Amino acid sequence: MESTNPGTGAQLADLAEPVAAIAGPGSIASLRGGWSAHFDGTRDPDHSMSIFAGIFIFVFGSLGYPLLPMIVGALQDHLHFTIRQVGAIASGEMSGMFVSAALALLWIRKVDWRWTALGCGVLLVVCHALSGQVSSFEALLVLRFLAGLFGGSMMAIGATAVGDSSSPEANVALLNVAQTALCAVGFFIMPPLVDSYGTSGAFLFLAVYVLPALVIAMLLPATGRWSKPAHAVKAAKPATKGAVAVLLFVSFPAFLFFAGYAASWAYIERIGVTAGLTHKEVGTVLSISLISGSAGSIAAWLLRMRVGRLIPTFVTLLCQLASLAVLLWFLHGPLFYLGALMVFVFFVNFPNSYQVGLAVHADTTGRAAVVFLLMLKAGIAVAPYLAATFVRGDDFHGPMILGAVLYTLSFLNFWAAEMRTRRRAAQAA
């Protein structure tokens, strides 16, 4: 149930800005500010350290998801969990991130970001470390949900800190590069640790990897800023039932798209291993392919709206289906695996700005970006467990096919929403 309180609306609209920035592309911006303040929390959001801290707090909080394929492999190979148990654990962590995104609407402008990020960082490290010491399905499920909850809270703080800068879209390029680089390093280092130490190696690596966030948290400003003009609050006016229905309709493609992504990505490591690649080869390929993800965001920024929204999203559909087809039926060695994954990851990031743009353009409630984020989190939360029901023994074709179906449904939903928006715009003209 949505609040009709103007103050709450302002908070929602304020949080919407960084969400939209993260979902879409960015360009590398020069950072401003000197080193005059470090840990006092009074630093301006445009200070270089504020931007740096926001970026890395987000990235360190998010690492559990992009590195999920290695976790999935470790759980199945070393703890011998069933694929449904593995899917439940993966969905549990993503569910924690979804819950944290929803709860952030209530507290993101009311707390000291430094101490909240520090506390969440400490608890995230503890969850990672304890995850490496347990072998019980139930205990691990709870720990991974909590890891998602604390990591997702760090993501909310980092996203809002980046969004409070004067050029949030530009600074997202730095966030993409940072996330890509850290994940690429993770995929390179984790395979030998998993081979030698099993799940303990994977989770303890995550625990150590997140430790820098405990220092970086204190570089954050204590709070952000709300510098919107007074009339901007009108965008967050009380929503009618019709407006909410429209917003859900134009945002639902994000749920389908990211569910398709998560259904495929969660088991992408298993596809490589069952095709005969070693864990080291799979990790190296995943590491390299992640670089193309940033290229997808930059390509969308360069293209912008020059060809509208439908053509880029249709090209995305064709290329995603082609990459999944290679993974399903034409996987004849590491080079095929690498090529398919580079295309796949490129077109995960490429359409985001068009999806967000459609939702924002059609929305009359001022809540489009927030709802988009919740749809995204919901998609990645439910998909790994759902995809696990389509696995048959060592045959992981089912999740890839499910991903292809969800991608197709996402485009059809997007096409219908775009056509509706064009008709409404023509009628209003």
pLDDT tens column, 272-330: 888 888 888 888 888 888 877 778 777 876 776 677 788 888 999 999 999 999 998 98
What pLDDT, on a 0 to 100 scale, did the predictor assign at position 31? 39
The pLDDT of 162-187, averaged and rounded, is 75
- Which of 29-33, 61-65, 156-160, 173-177 shows the lowest per-residue confidence on average (mean pLDDT)? 29-33
The pLDDT of 30-35, averaged and rounded, is 41
User: Which tokens in the block code for residue 105?
Assistant: 């609407």
Rounded to whole angstroms, the Cα distance separating 91 from 262 reads 9
Full-prediction pTM beyond 0.85? no
Domains for the chain: give ranges and CATH numbers. 9-23+38-223+240-416 (1.20.1250.20)
Average pLDDT over the chain, rounded to whole? 80
Please, are residues 365 and 425 in contact by the beta-carbon 8 Å criterion? no
User: 235-270 pLDDT, tens per residue?
Assistant: 444 446 677 777 788 889 989 999 999 999 888 888
The pLDDT of 385-391, averaged and rounded, is 89
What pLDDT, on a 0 to 100 scale, did the predictor assign at position 69? 87
Q: Which residue has the higher pLDDT, 403 or 240?
A: 403
Please, are residues 394 and 274 in contact by the beta-carbon 8 Å criterion? yes
Rounded to whole angstroms, the Cα distance separating 63 from 56 reads 11
